[in-house]
């Protein structure tokens, strides 16, 4: 099962850049004079790399949030980060700061995590469900603010906001994704470096404290790192939900080992999942691509429920 | 030396004592025993506690793990796939015993590859005890180490606690008065967050003191302390 999964994943990654509205032939990608060359190197390959990095970052961020907040439901997105990014982007769009739009999204995501963290530090470690409720309350507050913005914006602005919330992997060239690649490498190395700490956090906060680690400092470092990389992702692709929630659960259910050993698999399969979703998005739309957020949820939600049912039956 | 000076919080009132070796903490439900343990071990931060001159809530790493360990009365694990062996690896710090030997000595070798989440309460108590032995701090606080065990197991644990081979200094919180009596360590008795008694074991278990602290609910029979039902 495991090898089959890895093999399938590698095949998906390998065919992803070749398939789309225009199919590219392998022979043409090294021939500068062909159009295939440009499509492959300027559009398809950067897009697949972007999808992989963003998926990997979101999945790993989900794992970190679930571990630190000790709740299988908490991800940067269920706690309101995506809504924060969307609201700030909308503010940017409505008030005419279009050149800084990515920065606004980044600001919204990071600010939300900072708010969450300030509130979380007032709770005891065991009150994580309260934090989830805070996240939900924040999301509602953001939604209400967004409604106000919709109300005062014109048609063009409203459309731009709606498109942003659907998530998009449309980019041209590698220049716009270097930051995401760096972010992916950065978060993987930080989480890997803190693997032992994460393993201790998988028991209990008290136990981790007694085994000599500075739990507060560890949490600060991990959450800050995650908020920065998620902010970067959201600023480029818009909010892409669900990956951070389901990939860690799916990998755990399949591998049946403790989460600290699943850092690399969750990173890898998170990436593959988004590449696959993008592949579907690019190949099923009749006129243009289906928004990526739609595919992740359409594909992820039923599979997730299936896994939960299967697990429920066994225990 | 472990020392706590003038500590008070929402439940504890002006707690001060010091100790060099073993201690047994007794007291009614809700008297504040576990809170004291958490303060002593640095889980609840406080400037009133020092162990060999260091504040347990301020230090980390080896410096801390060598000094103090607290074993709660039940095993709390978030990850559902973490095995007993992996859990014990995390505790394998300052002991010379291999994990397998400790497991065998506690007769729980068969649990090695089980998930920590699916242990019975008795089993998890034994796993916690194994982790205490492997951690081997200078002071180990054990919070009700026998509360979920069958009589045979209680006896095994009693012998283990009585021997000096496995753990250095023990601070044992218990409701099992007979265990406290037979171990013979000094007694700290807490009532409503205040220290009511701190002194020798023999004196505490004198008939007059038993009457004073527990009224008619316990009695001494053939040198054993029984609950008088």
CA distance A315 to B195: 47
Q: Which of A70, A200, A209 sits opposite B90 (nearest CB)?
A: A200
Cβ <8 Å between A206 and B79 = no
* Of the candidates B15, B25, B10, B3, the residue with the CA atom closest to the CA atom of residue B173: B25
pTM for this model (two decimals): 0.89
* pLDDT attached to residue A299: 83
Which residues share a beta bridge with B171? B23, B141
| Chain B residue set in contact with A, beta carbons under 8 Å | 38, 41-43, 60-65, 68-70, 72, 76-79, 81-83, 86-87, 90-91, 93, 116, 135
What pLDDT score was predicted for residue B42?
Answer: 92
pLDDT at residue A69, rounded to an integer: 83
Kindly state the average pLDDT of the residues B122-126.
93
Nearest to A204 among B62, B78, B83 (CB): B78
Of A202, A214, A256, the CB nearest to B78: A202
Q: What is the pLDDT of residue A167?
A: 82
- Confidence (pLDDT) at A314: 57
Q: Which residues in chain B are closer than 8 Å to A200, comparing Cβ atoms?
A: 90
pLDDT for the residue A286? 61
The pLDDT of residue A105? 84
Residue A307: the pLDDT is: 74
Give the pLDDT confidence score for residue B128 in this predicted structure: 95
- Per-residue model confidence (pLDDT) at position B14: 92
Q: State the ipTM, two decimals.
A: 0.92
pLDDT of residue A79: 83
Q: Which residues of A touch B70 (CB under 8 A)?
A: 206, 210
CB B143 within 8 A of CB B173: yes
A293 compared with B17, residue with greater pLDDT: B17
SS3 string of A154-208?
CHHHHHHHHHHHHCCCCCCCCCCCHHHHHHHHHHHHHHHHCHHHHHHHCCCHHHH
Q: How far is B224 from chain A (nearest CA, A)?
A: 35
The whole-angstrom separation of Cα B93 and Cα B66 is 8
DSSP-based three-state secondary structure for B212: helix
Our CA dihedral for A286, A288, A293, A299, rounded to 10 degrees, sits at: 20
Q: Could you identify the residue written with the tokens 């199919």?
A: A23
For residue A310, the model assigns a pLDDT of: 76
DSSP state of A21: S
B82 vs A207: CB contact, 8 Å cut-off? no
Per-residue pLDDT for B50 more than 90? yes
Chain B partners of A212 at a C-beta cutoff of 8 Å?
60-65
More confidently predicted of B69 and A22: B69
In chain A (315 residues long), the average pLDDT of successive 10-residue segments reads 88 88 79 83 90 96 90 82 86 84 85 81 65 84 92 89 84 84 96 96 93 90 87 86 88 90 96 93 76 85 80 63
């Amino acid at each position: 099962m495991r090898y089959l999964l890895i093999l399938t994943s590698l095949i998906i990654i390998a065919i992803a850049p070749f398939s789309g509205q225009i199919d590219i032939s392998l022979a043409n990608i090294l021939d500068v004079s062909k159009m295939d060359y440009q499509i492959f190197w300027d559009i398809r390959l950067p897009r697949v790399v972007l999808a992989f990095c963003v998926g990997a970052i979101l999945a790993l961020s989900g794992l970190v949030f679930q571990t630190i907040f000790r709740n299988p439901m908490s991800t940067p997105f269920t706690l309101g980060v995506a809504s924060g990014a969307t609201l700030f982007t909308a503010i940017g769009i409505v008030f005419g700061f279009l050149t800084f739009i990515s920065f606004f999204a980044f600001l919204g995501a990071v600010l939300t995590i900072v708010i969450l963290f300030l509130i979380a530090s007032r709770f005891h470690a065991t009150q994580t469900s309260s934090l989830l409720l805070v996240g939900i309350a924040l999301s509602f507050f953001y939604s209400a603010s967004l409604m106000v913005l919709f109300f005062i914006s014109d048609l063009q602005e409203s459309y731009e906001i709606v498109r942003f919330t659907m998530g998009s992997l449309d980019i041209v060239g590698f220049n716009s994704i270097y930051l995401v690649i760096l972010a992916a490498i950065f978060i993987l190395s930080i989480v890997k470096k803190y693997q032992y700490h994460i393993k201790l956090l998988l028991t209990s906060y008290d136990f981790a404290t007694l085994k000599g680690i500075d739990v507060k400092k560890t949490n600060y470092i991990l959450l800050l790192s995650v908020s920065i990389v998620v902010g970067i992702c959201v600023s480029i692709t818009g909010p892409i939900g669900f990956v951070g929630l389901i990939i860690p659960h799916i990998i755990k259910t399949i591998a049946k080992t403790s989460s600290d050993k699943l850092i690399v698999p969750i990173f890898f399969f998170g990436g593959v999942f988004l590449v696959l979703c993008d592949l579907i998005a690019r190949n099923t739309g009749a006129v243009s691509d289906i928004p990526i957020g739609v595919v992740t949820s359409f594909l992820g939600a039923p599979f997730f429920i299936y896994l939960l049912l299967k697990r429920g039956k066994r225990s | 030396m472990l020392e706590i000076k003038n500590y008070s919080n929402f439940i504890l009132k002006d707690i001060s004592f010091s100790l060099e070796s073993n201690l047994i903490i007794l007291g009614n439900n809700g008297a504040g025993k576990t809170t004291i343990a958490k303060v002593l071990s640095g889980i609840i931060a406080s400037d009133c506690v020092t162990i060999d001159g260091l504040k347990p809530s301020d230090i980390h790493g080896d410096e801390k793990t060598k000094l103090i360990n607290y074993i709660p009365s039940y095993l709390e694990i978030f990850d559902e796939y973490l095995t007993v062996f992996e859990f014990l690896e995390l505790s394998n710090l300052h002991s010379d015993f291999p994990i397998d030997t400790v497991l065998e000595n506690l007769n729980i070798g068969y649990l090695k590859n089980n998930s920590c989440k699916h242990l019975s309460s008795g089993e998890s108590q034994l796993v916690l005890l194994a982790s205490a032995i492997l951690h081997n701090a200078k002071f180990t606080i054990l919070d009700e180490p026998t509360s979920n065990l069958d009589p045979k197991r209680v006896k095994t644990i009693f012998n283990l606690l009585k021997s000096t081979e496995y753990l250095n200094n023990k601070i044992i919180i218990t409701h099992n008065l007979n265990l406290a009596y037979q171990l013979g360590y000094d007694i700290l008795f807490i009532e409503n967050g205040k220290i009511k008694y701190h002194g020798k074991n023999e004196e505490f278990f004198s008939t007059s003191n038993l009457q004073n602290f527990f009224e008619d609910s316990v009695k001494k029979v053939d040198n054993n302390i029984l609950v008088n039902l």
